[in-house]
Chains A and B, each alone.
Chain A
Amino acid sequence: MDQGARDKLDSLTAERPEMAVLVEDALALVAGCRTVSELEEARVKLLGKKGTVTTVFKGLFMLSADEKPVVGQIGNLLRGLVEERLGEKGRELSEIQGERLLRSRAVDVTLSGRRRTVGHKHLLSEVAEEITSVFISLGYEVVQGPEVELDYYNFEALNQPPYHPARSLQDTLYIRRKDPFREYPDDILLRTHTSPVQIRVMESRKPPLYVISPGKAYRKDEIDATHSAMFHQVEGFAVGPGINMGHLKGTLEVFVRKLFGSSRKVRFTPHFFPFTEPSAEVYVSCYVCDGEGCGLCRGSGWLEILGCGMIDPNVFEHVGYDPEEYTGFAFGVGVERVAMLKHGIDDMRVFFENDMRFLRQF
């Protein structure tokens, strides 16, 4: 009911106190209802055949011609007002009643949710992807290579000297080997690292190259807490004019901090690998003791993360690059090692046992 109608009713009843009382009583009756059924009773009392409002209309015939239109108008306005209040009150009461019903059927919110089984990536996949994605963000592409490989790609072209212990039957799993005393480039073996991808890529393409190559590698290691006949590596290399050791350091510093946290310190120490020179091992300051020395870092304050170096000119010669024109760096990261360090795993076997309870943890 608009305010104009309400004002009109008030002004008409102002000179008729008995009508004003009637209006107030009718509204009070509606307002006082506490249930839907009380409201229904009020409706009958007000608008039913013998209801208050109906009675106003029924009494009109007894009124004078002057009063008739006035009282009639009051009756109409009153009926409108009552209907409106009944409607409002009705909605209010039914909502309250609905809420009461809901409350009486409350759910136990502590019951477990209806879940679907959640799947998990293998931790080694997660870590390999994490490593790979850092290098993708630095502008690297991803290339895969075969796991069953020629000696040429695995050893020979990587400047591994003949008779090197790594080439022996004790260290490398062979598919075919020609002679027990000499290693031949066309021996077939399970690659012992992901580095052969370096040779395969360089052999078929020209610099600049920025390549990362995650994958499996194999060694003839009896399986125990720290060894596995199969393991995962991420090989990476960059070759182009003017690539230098400072680039190697800058790149791997970014990588190690992305992986282990921006506050970690990174250390490069000289080392020896046949396929790089100068070579380095990369360490990260121990995240358990922050360099103070603890059980994890065996008191040194540093954890070894990866091996790397500037690609040896002999390697370039195998792929037909001029070492005077191009330089490059290469590195190899052990995925298991990073996963073990990051997650406090002390036994490599858990990766390959694939116990569902392990798989669901990561």
Chain B
Amino acid sequence: MKVSFEWLQEYVDVEASPEEVADLLWMSGTEVERVRRLGSGVSGVVVARVDEVKPHPYADNLRLAIADDGTVRRTVVCGAPNLVEGMKSALAVPGARLPEVSDKELKKATIRGVESEGMFLSASELGLSDDHSGILELQGVTRAGLDIHEVLPLEDVVLDLEITPNRPDCMSMVGIAREVAAVTGSKLRMPDCTVNETGPPTGDLVAVMIDDAGGCPRYSGRAVTGVSIGPSPAWMQRRLLASGLRPINNVVDITNYVLMELGQPLHAFDMDLLSGRTIIVRLSRRGELITTLDGVDRQLDDTSLVIADASRPVALAGIIGGEDSEVGEKTRNILIESAHFDPTSIMLTSRRLGVRTEASGRFEKGSDPGGTLAAADRAAGLMGELAGGDIALGAIDVYPKAVIPVTIDLRPSRVNTVLGTEISKSEMLEILERLAARVEDADVPRITAPSFRPDLQREVDLIEEIARVYGYDRIPGSLPGGGGFDAGLTAEQALEERLVDGLVARGLCQVVPYSFMRPGDLDLLRLPEGDRLRRAVTLMNPLAETGEAMRTTLLPGLLRLALGNANRGNVDLAFFEKGRVFIAKGPEELPEEFDAIGILLCGLVEPAGWSAPGRQADFFDLKGAVEEAALTLGVDDIDFLPADRPYLAPGHSAAVLVDGAEAGVIGQLHPGVAEEFGLVFELYVAELRLAPLMEAAAGTSEYRPVGRFPNVKVDIAVVVDESLEARMVAEVIKASGGDLLLSARLFDVYTGPQIPAGKKSLAYALEFGSAGGTLTDAQAHAELDRVIAALKSRFAAAIRGRDDVRGEGN
């Protein structure tokens, strides 16, 4: 809402500057987006009429206007698309000052070979608004030669206010003036709503009936006869322009002016065009037609509230008027409508028909049922004064369903309990009175909310009013007690943080992709029909760019990020996500949501440097990352078993088991799948559910005494079939080594000429030791012999250096 500071002062005396007033309003709940000093410092600008428009001889996008500035005719070069013969606009003549354009005087300039003797201005060049879509059109008003200050609100200051939806009353000059008065303590001056009734009795001119009192609890109005349509006076036009409204003619301008002044939407009918001189507020009948002021023919059903005359709807109640009864040049007699409509009814009709107007927006938020008559009187008074009309004798005021004001008990102690203050009862009541509430003082005062405050229904609503006028800044701050035992992270939350820290420590970057996916992504992943990951939750009204389903797997998101990065030249990627995936249950149920970890590696994991050649990511980098992540949680029971997935490369993928339970998969992305995502390099991906890791991590790890005595270290190289999984060998070593075997570390895998074809050599460093004392060589070797015996019997393994394991190369 744009508030002219000049206009505001008509209703309240303000000693403070516009900026100070803005701050006071802000601190009491009306946010000021901007304080704009309109056209400050503009001079040398006059109203000019465009007599003729000619093409520019050397430029297609420019034209020449022959303009009359009241004294001389000037040729002006102009590029505005809305330049048209006969229009009036603001012309800056040489010597003009335009602070928004330049800090220098305007001079004659030659533009593409033609001298321009001035410059037509847009609203933004005048500093009036941000509109620079064309030159300013000065309608109806003005004769050429007038100084622009006489027709535009230049030098005024406009406060651009953001009104919260609970305060429809603040969508008016009087409403804002009341706020200013409440916070400054000065007095509100209401506009003069008295009328001088010089016309015939209203009842002889028009009859009003309400058929649907639920939709229209009150219909007030005035009839005005003998008006002459013409421009409204300059002061009114200036105020409307400052409010962001375009002046049209005196009658329309007056309805807009009163709308801005009092917040009551008004509609002016040409009374002579009303069939039967009758107004009936009723529900539409199925199939009825109306052409609304926006030029649209509308066929109605039987649910819309309409204003009808004796034969047809003439307006969609509270939304938009009809063309048939529109005020025009020839209109002589006016019916002013000033009604109160049910907010929900207006909203439903407006939504159903897809028409939103200034009036419908206001009625939806709740208009003032108590203010309809005053607004009609105000408009009628102005029409008498400014359009030469005679106001008919007697107001129209059909009020079948009185809106009963709400009375609220206010407990002063409760106010202070909720706010943490010590405000006195008298100060509370004074604040409410300043806001136009009626106060009956008692131990528990009774407060009657004014009719323009539909938001005041409960005691807590009054508490808020008291708080905001008293000043939030005067409420003393303190800290409450806190949650005690419940405070802080749970063990699981702490573990989750540790997991993220662990992955970061491993050198991975955390990513946050969107939680959406395209169902086509699951096809790209080659997931078969019926796969669990196909049970996606889909959006009814998705955004085109993000995809229409909630992801069931983190992989598509990660792959798209890899693509996005690769397209920008980032090809060495190591990232992870901790995020949620969603698996649909029934159509009536919320989906299952669980947290997962996704990892993606590609390109160099170790960059090439002066001391090392750099290394490409492979399966074991990925596996190492997963193992380390588990280890940061204290989970060492983690197994990897060969497992195929349609989106992973065969022979290069594994299921991940944590404590024996499947937690996810890791592997190389299938090259075919990679290609379909537009990725032309090797990628390694993992996806793990968080829950199994968390379960395995729960519990306290128990102390194991560390040996104080030197351990015995022995290396053995075991020659086994090439197809044997290293895990099997490790398991047998571990099982046969007994308590004295502390660790077995695989340090070499060899196939080649040193050993027979079809075999591989796995070299382990075994470490034996005991917390009880130094191990003798004999003890260690007895253990080693047991390990070797077990390996031989289980795998028919040969031990290099002990058995004959020469290959063909020897």
Interface residues of B in 448-507 (CB under 8 A from A): 458, 460-461, 463-464, 467-468, 472-473, 475-484, 486-490, 493, 497, 500, 503-507
Interface residues of B in 592-626 (CB under 8 A from A): 593, 605-607, 609-612
Tell me if A355 is interfacial: C-beta within 8 Å of chain B: yes
Partner pick for A249 among B477, B545, B580, CB 8 A cutoff: B477
Tell me if A83 is interfacial: C-beta within 8 Å of chain B: no
Tell me if B565 is interfacial: C-beta within 8 Å of chain A: yes
Tell me if B743 is interfacial: C-beta within 8 Å of chain A: no
Complex: A114 Cα to B510 Cα, angstroms: 23
Contact indicator A246/B478 (Cβ below 8 Å): yes
Complex: A105 Cα to B185 Cα, angstroms: 86
Partner pick for A272 among B164, B417, B479, B510, CB 8 A cutoff: B164
Q: Which residue of B lies closest to A254 (CB)?
A: B479
Contact indicator A352/B500 (Cβ below 8 Å): no
**B-chain residues with CB within 8 Å of residue A112 when the two chains form the complex:** 609-610
**A-chain residues with CB within 8 Å of residue B486 when the two chains form the complex:** 141, 210
Knowing A125-B500, A356-B573, say if A173 contacts B542 (CB, 8 Å). yes
Partner pick for A351 among B461, B512, B575, CB 8 A cutoff: B512
Tell me if A76 is interfacial: C-beta within 8 Å of chain B: no
Tell me if B550 is interfacial: C-beta within 8 Å of chain A: yes
Contact indicator B503/A119 (Cβ below 8 Å): yes
Q: Which residue of A lies closest to B464 (CB)?
A: A278
Q: Which residue of B lies closest to A149 (CB)?
A: B590
**A-chain residues with CB within 8 Å of residue B29 when the two chains form the complex:** 269-272
Tell me if B401 is interfacial: C-beta within 8 Å of chain A: no
Interface residues of A in 186-215 (CB under 8 A from B): 186, 188, 190, 208-211
Tell me if B537 is interfacial: C-beta within 8 Å of chain A: yes
Contact indicator A136/B537 (Cβ below 8 Å): no
Complex: A229 Cα to B590 Cα, angstroms: 20
Complex: A118 Cα to B504 Cα, angstroms: 7
Tell me if B527 is interfacial: C-beta within 8 Å of chain A: no
Complex: A230 Cα to B165 Cα, angstroms: 25
Partner pick for B509 among A163, A268, A356, CB 8 A cutoff: A356
**B-chain residues with CB within 8 Å of residue A243 when the two chains form the complex:** 480
Tell me if B323 is interfacial: C-beta within 8 Å of chain A: no
Contact indicator A277/B461 (Cβ below 8 Å): yes
Tell me if B184 is interfacial: C-beta within 8 Å of chain A: no
Closest Cβ of chain A to B637, distance in Å, is 25
Interface residues on B, range: 35 or more
Contact indicator A140/B418 (Cβ below 8 Å): no
**B-chain residues with CB within 8 Å of residue A177 when the two chains form the complex:** 540
Closest Cβ of chain B to A129, distance in Å, is 8
**B-chain residues with CB within 8 Å of residue A81 when the two chains form the complex:** none
Interface segment among A20-28, A51-59, A216-224: the answer is: A216-224
Tell me if A138 is interfacial: C-beta within 8 Å of chain B: yes
Interface residues of A: mostly helix, strand, loop or mixed?
Answer: mixed
Knowing A111-B610, A139-B483, A141-B483, say if A147 contacts B27 (CB, 8 Å). no
Knowing A177-B540, A244-B420, say if A359 contacts B479 (CB, 8 Å). no
Complex: A178 Cα to B612 Cα, angstroms: 63
Closest Cβ of chain B to A269, distance in Å, is 6
Closest Cβ of chain A to B608, distance in Å, is 12
Interface segment among B77-85, B346-354, B372-380, B801-809: the answer is: B346-354
Interface residues of A in 91-128 (CB under 8 A from B): 111-112, 114, 116-122, 124-125
Contact indicator A245/B419 (Cβ below 8 Å): yes
Partner pick for B541 among A119, A139, A220, A272, CB 8 A cutoff: A220
Contact indicator B483/A140 (Cβ below 8 Å): yes
Closest Cβ of chain A to B516, distance in Å, is 8
Complex: A129 Cα to B497 Cα, angstroms: 9
Contact indicator A208/B481 (Cβ below 8 Å): yes
Contact indicator A229/B543 (Cβ below 8 Å): yes
Closest Cβ of chain A to B730, distance in Å, is 27
Complex: A220 Cα to B543 Cα, angstroms: 7
Contact indicator B609/A121 (Cβ below 8 Å): no
Contact indicator B512/A138 (Cβ below 8 Å): no
Interface residues of B in 721-778 (CB under 8 A from A): none
Contact indicator B545/A148 (Cβ below 8 Å): no
Complex: A163 Cα to B609 Cα, angstroms: 62
Complex: A205 Cα to B267 Cα, angstroms: 54
Tell me if A233 is interfacial: C-beta within 8 Å of chain B: no
Knowing A119-B509, A272-B165, say if A312 contacts B460 (CB, 8 Å). yes
Interface string of B295-313 (1 = CB under 8 A from A): 0000000000000000000
23 intermolecular pairs with C-beta atoms under 8 Å apart: A114-B611, A119-B507, A119-B574, A121-B504, A124-B512, A129-B497, A136-B487, A138-B479, A148-B550, A148-B590, A149-B590, A181-B351, A208-B483, A209-B483, A210-B482, A216-B580, A223-B546, A250-B479, A268-B473, A269-B26, A269-B29, A279-B464, A357-B570
Binding site for A on B (CB under 8 A): 26-29, 31, 34, 164-167, 344, 347-348, 351-352, 417-421, 458, 460-461, 463-464, 467-468, 472-473, 475-484, 486-490, 493, 497, 500, 503-516, 537-543, 545-546, 550, 561, 564-565, 568, 570, 572-575, 580, 582, 587-588, 590-591, 593, 605-607, 609-612
Per CB-CB distance, the 8 closest pairs between chain A and chain B, nearest first, are A139-B482, A246-B420, A270-B29, A244-B420, A250-B477, A210-B483, A272-B164, A249-B477
